[in-house]
Structure 1
Amino acid sequence: MTHLARIERESLCDTFDQVGPDAPTLCSPWTTADLAAHLVIRERRPDLAPGIWLPPLAGRLEESQADYAGKPWPELVDLIRSGPPAWSPAQLSSVDDAVNFLEFFIHHEDVLRGDGQVGPRREVPLREQKALWKTLKRLGKVFFRRSPVGVVLERTDGKVLTVKGPTELGTVTVRGDATELVLAAYGRRRVADLSVAGDDAAVQALWEAPLGLS
């Protein structure tokens, strides 16, 4: 059975092929070419990674990203589609899933919802939905650690997950499919199809909080 990261990798690359290098993404001001270049550098150029956190090295990272973004579009997409380089531990499917599945899923949605409109643009397979829910169970407390309010995630089938205990500001229940809840956890709630229950001030405090892994 094809592993999850490979499925999302192929699906993302198919979308890249359809929309081309100049389409908008949720990672504004990045276009799809910029986002694809980011993914290639993340997977193939670990020597440039310190530029993400160290300002003195940021220029080298930005220059390399611009170089990759300027490559012929089929060549750039193929660098992603062809998979991890031979030296990468992600050659192992278990490592690939752990390192890349969520990354590819989020960035695929960044492309699909790049117009900023709310709601899904594809039917995500049940297998992936289950994996995304498991991710929330494993990392939900990390994603919402900076929330000033309690947070309960509720799937549309009624399954519930508390990712932040109650605070003096109250608790907010966020309801939606696993795909939409993951997008909210990653700070993409403005394009996620969600419903919320809670005091208005608590809801506002939640959505103003910096969510995600960063």
Structure 2
Amino acid sequence: MTAFAKSERHQLADLLLRLGPDAPTLCAGWTTRDLAAHLVVRERRPDSAIGMLVPPLRERGEQIRLAKAAEPFELVVDQVRNPPWWSPVSNPLVDELANAGEFFIHHEDVRRAADGWEPRDLSREQDAALWRGAQFAGKMALRRVKIPARVVESGGLGEFTVGPDPQVTVRGSAGELALFLSGRQGAARVETDGPDERLRTVRLGL
């Protein structure tokens, strides 16, 4: 694992153990137990992960996740911390690309579900990694919901536009944009300019 993905993974595992299995998260209806189980089956059960993309298989994927969530919480968190080397999404060749954003977002899902949180100070390298992921996921999400928008990274990493003649602009740091564009609009500290209020409430994540 490369540095950022590994760091976020271990920080999240530590936080999960500290809070226990019943703490809230930003993922609607999920506790920390549910979130940990999701991360494990994503890496260890590709047949479950397919259900996120193929609706007819979603129920089967949820059954697999619930079975994992029923296992001892400490064991599930240990599997979050120590991914299999053979996994399609956590092997050394793809780990940073597949997991830098994934684990940052889920780390924040747990952090920001509690009162008193503040955005973390991230390195320039971390911002760059998150911005790459935010561009890819954000373009897909905005095209899917058919909302023309301009997205600007406030640290100077760049910007992108989706759709013709966008009337709304979203501006923020790479981490905050990654959260916003993955569907965590209510917990992301970004600025929006323009008339399209749907961007604050529409489902942007998977």
TM-score by length of 1: 0.82
Structure 2: runs of 5+ lacking an equivalent: none
Sequence identity percentage: 41
Query: Which residue in 2 is equivalent to 1:205?
Result: 198
Query: Which residue in 2 is equivalent to 1:145?
Result: 143
3-state SS of the aligned residue for 1:94? Answer: coil
Q: 8 Å contact 1:152–1:160 — kept in the other structure?
A: no
- Seen in structure 2, the aligned counterparts of structure 1 residues 163 and 18 have a Cα distance that, compared at 3 Å, is farther
TM-score by length of 2: 0.85
| Offset, 1:183 | 0.9
Structure 2 CA distance, aligned partners of 1:205 and 1:91?
35
Q: 8 Å contact 2:186–2:200 — kept in the other structure?
A: no
Pair 1:26 & 2:53 matched: no
Q: CA RMSD in A?
A: 2.6
Structure 1 CA distance, aligned partners of 2:25 and 2:10?
18
Query: Which residue in 2 is equivalent to 1:174?
Result: 170
Structure 2 CA distance, aligned partners of 1:165 and 1:48?
33
3-state SS of the aligned residue for 1:193? Answer: coil
Structure 2 CA distance, aligned partners of 1:192 and 1:135?
16
- Give a deviation string over 1:40-86, Cα, whole Å, max 9, x none: 1111112333444344661x433332232122222111011112x24
Q: 8 Å contact 1:118–1:192 — kept in the other structure?
A: no
Query: Which residue in 2 is equivalent to 1:156?
Result: 154
- Seen in structure 2, the aligned counterparts of structure 1 residues 54 and 172 have a Cα distance that, compared at 3 Å, is closer
Query: Which residue in 1 is equivalent to 2:86?
Result: 87
3-state SS of the aligned residue for 1:175? Answer: strand
Structure 1 CA distance, aligned partners of 2:103 and 2:200?
24
